[in-house]
A and B are shown apart, each in its own frame.
Chain A
Amino acid sequence: MSNNRVSRRQFLGYTLTGVGGFMAAGMLMPMVRFAVDPVLQQKGAGDFVLTDQRVEDITEEPVRVDFTFEQTDAWYVSEVTNSAWVYKEGDKLIALSPVCKHLGCTVNWAGDPEHPTQFFCPCHAGRYEKNGQNIAGTPPLGPLDEYLVEEQDGYVAIGAVRPNTLV
């Protein structure tokens, strides 16, 4: 038999301290969590949408990159897939919106065999230079919009749309 026997008083003391500790922690932990919550808040990378297009596969030739995000239209949430024309200028990534500035059709790179280095809108034969500059004499009145674009872990991520800064 052991010599240092735990007395009844000691046993109750230990037990109450232990249980009380858990109860106090149960009350305090959420409070502490709420207090430091702003610090833990995830910033997100702007509102960039990651695509599955590798940056290293992008050349100076624009390629279509699709990206999907959730859109809330009043009570109706839907997944929307948009695309961008992405190419490299030197080392800089450039993403142009495919929405024609005339009436909003989707433009295609080299869509017109006669102009293989331009964006072409099939609706009313609007054309744009590679940097999005609209070609005078065709219906569009302004350059293609540009997306904010960045590289995330080797993949293209596409952000908000803004007016063209290249022309």
Chain B
Amino acid sequence: MHFIGKDMDQYLSQKDYVDTAVVPLLQLDLSEAGLKSSAGASEYLQSLTAMLEKQFKGRILLFPPVAYTKNADRNRLSDEISSEMEKAGFKHVFYMTTDAEWRSVEELKNVLWLPAIPTEHMDRNFKQSVMEDQLRQVLPLFLKEWS
């Protein structure tokens, strides 16, 4: 489910079934050199999580991307988010990101780090198949966590 008003009604009534949160973590880099790749990573991350949501709509709640800047204190950020997720009662929380810095944040469990693929020049069908390939790598991680 998406984090939108309509889905929240369903979420509240089916809380037992929707036990997994997905939080995209997105680094904003607005410097001239980094702007484009940051935007591309954002596009990639959001299409991937949207496809994931479509596949697992009934079990995951997809949150809007948490955006932070390059120098953000990732440890503090992860503490804040994970404690909020815990309060909400999610059994499983996945963080998806293209930002390599998260690999050094030890406390956060289930961080799925994926290298961003620039999809801006691909035509629609090709992009779709590339994203599906990416999705296929992510799905087993969810199934494994759930089983």
Which 7 pairs between the two chains have the least Cβ-Cβ distance? A103-B58, A123-B59, A104-B57, A105-B58, A123-B58, A106-B55, A105-B57
Binding stretch for chain A, among B10-18, B26-34, B74-82, B111-119 = B10-18
A81 at interface (Cβ–Cβ under 8 A)? yes
A126 to chain B, nearest CB (A): 9
The closest CB in chain A to the CB of B11 belongs to: A103
**Complex: A90 Cα to B84 Cα, angstroms:** 54
- Are B128 and A103 in contact, with the CB atoms below 8 A? no
Interface string of B74-112 (1 = CB under 8 A from A): 000000000000000000000000000000000000000
Of B10, B54, B124, the residue contacting A106 (CB under 8 A) is: B54
Contacts of B14 in A (CB 8 A): 103
Interface string of A83-110 (1 = CB under 8 A from B): 0000000000000000010111110000
Interface string of A132-164 (1 = CB under 8 A from B): 000000010000000000000000000000000
B138 to chain A, nearest CB (A): 13
Count of chain A residues near B, Cβ 8 A: 15
Q: Given A122-B143, A124-B17, are A105 and B124 also a contact pair (CB < 8 Å)? A: no
Q: Which B positions have Cβ atoms within 8 angstroms of A?
A: 10, 14, 17-18, 54-59, 124, 128, 139, 143
Interface centre among B56, B124, B128 (most CB of A within 10 A): B56
Of A68, A81, A100, the residue contacting B58 (CB under 8 A) is: A100
**Complex: A139 Cα to B18 Cα, angstroms:** 13
- Are A124 and B128 in contact, with the CB atoms below 8 A? no
Q: Given A122-B143, A124-B17, are A106 and B128 also a contact pair (CB < 8 Å)? A: no
